[in-house]
Amino acid sequence: MQKYVIEGGVALRGTIKAGGNKNAALPCIAASLLTDQKIILQNIPAIEDVDVLLKILSTLGAVVERPQPGTVIITAANIKSGQVPADLAKRIRASILFAGPLLARVGEVELPPPGGDVIGRRRLDTHFLALIGLGARIEANDRFRIFLEKPLAGSDLFLDEASVTATENAVMASVLASGETIIQNAACEPHVQDLCHMLNSMGARIEGIGSNILRIQGVKKLHGTEYRIGPDFMEVGSFIGLAAVTRGDLLIQNAGVKNLRMIKMGFAKLGVEWETDGDDIHIHPNQSLRIQADFGGAIPKIDDAPWPGFPADLTSIMVVTATQCVGTVLIHEKMFESRMFFVDKLISMGAGIILCDPHRAVVSGPTRLRGAELVSPDVRAGMAMVLAGLAAEGKSTIHNIYQIERGYENLVPRLQNLGARIEKIQD
């Protein structure tokens, strides 16, 4: 096991380039199973979740090549089995993404319960109900067996929640189903859009991309493609928070400006602004860091919602950023019942936070944070702890950094290049 050791109190300065969207890379990798031809994926981040998913592909019979950084070539010509190995599946939540494409490719999937972040219960019902609607049957015990008694057939599906990965599974299964499939209450995040655009480049017929109603005309066969995924707006939001809490001067290249509108509104409530130049953004060091009251002087609220609402994965970042701002704000994380529990560590560092319940935290600032011993419970809370450590006085140590590096590529050297005093050492 390894850990981060951070000496805080240094303003980050320089240029950093946003990596590829982790949450787009994972379903696009899984979608390679839908064809026996070569898939070339560009802008794939070198992170733990990608490594695990590619290992699962290899165990299923796919040939995986990584000729250069950011490029993955997958040829799934010899997929015979739909059995996902338990030791790999339990390491990441994204292992559930094999359900749809394996069902469409070989007609049967055996999938252990997926692993992933410790942020509360993450139900799988929406995935299974969508696949049942397309003709699958489900048997559940210590593993999930999903199988077909007759070929997949298009259907009018209404998802009981706008789940990103359930939408992706439904899309991947339905592109090879006979007839038309309509998916209502579909998730429409940028990573879902990336998957749909990739599938269309493989010969799928998907309409309504970017909306919550997808119409899919099934095709008999998909072909290979070369596709480049978009930038990771979660990583961009994390870097914006880093610049703010350290009073840094940061240029973020390839930031994916079109996907930052709601994120920009959220940071503006904390007095954090930036300038845009093409697809780059510049966060200046002279931020007001003053929380903007709602009209009438009411305490403002930052709350998450399905796209295009504020992303749930950035609420942890906003909590830490708010500790360095003048005023009071309510952070309301509606989607996961355990994600906010990490704030007790911030309170031990000196943060002025009242945890109202598992979903709501009132943050008053600014407060002077002190270095502390921390343990990362999930990828986003772990990154939030990195922000806190870099903003704090003294030394902070963060354990369980495996969770952080599941989502952030080469984080330590990239931050060191900005002047951060952070090291990764053996725990």
Catalytic annotation, residues: 117
Nearest to 95 by CA among 79, 77, 104, 82: 82
Q: What one-character DSSP code corresponds to residue 418?
A: T
Amino acid at 270: L
Q: What one-character DSSP code corresponds to residue 185?
A: S
Task: Return the structure tokens found at 191.
Answer: 């990573």
Pairing of strands 144-148, 225-228: unpaired
Nearest to 314 by CA among 247, 370, 265, 249: 265
Q: Are 175 and 103 in contact (CB under 8 A)?
A: no
Task: Return the structure tokens found at 86.
Answer: 């338990």
β-bridge mates for residue 5, sequence order: 397, 423
Sequential DSSP letters for 245-271:
HTT-EEEEES--GGG-HHHHHHHHTTT
Helix-, strand-, coil-residue percentages of the chain, each rounded to 5: 35, 30, 40
**Residue listed under structure tokens 């002025």:** 352
Cα→Cα distances 198→192, 217, 259, Å: 10, 15, 18
Interatomic CA distance for residues 76 and 78, integer angstroms: 6
Provide the 10 A C-beta neighbour count for residue 90: 15
Instruction: Give the burial class of 344: count Cβ atoms within 10 A of its Cβ; 0-12 exposed, 13-18 middle, 19 or more buried.
Output: exposed
Q: Is the backbone peptide bond immediately before 308 cis, with ω within 30 degrees of 0?
A: yes
* Helices and strands in the chain: count of H runs, count of E runs: 14, 23
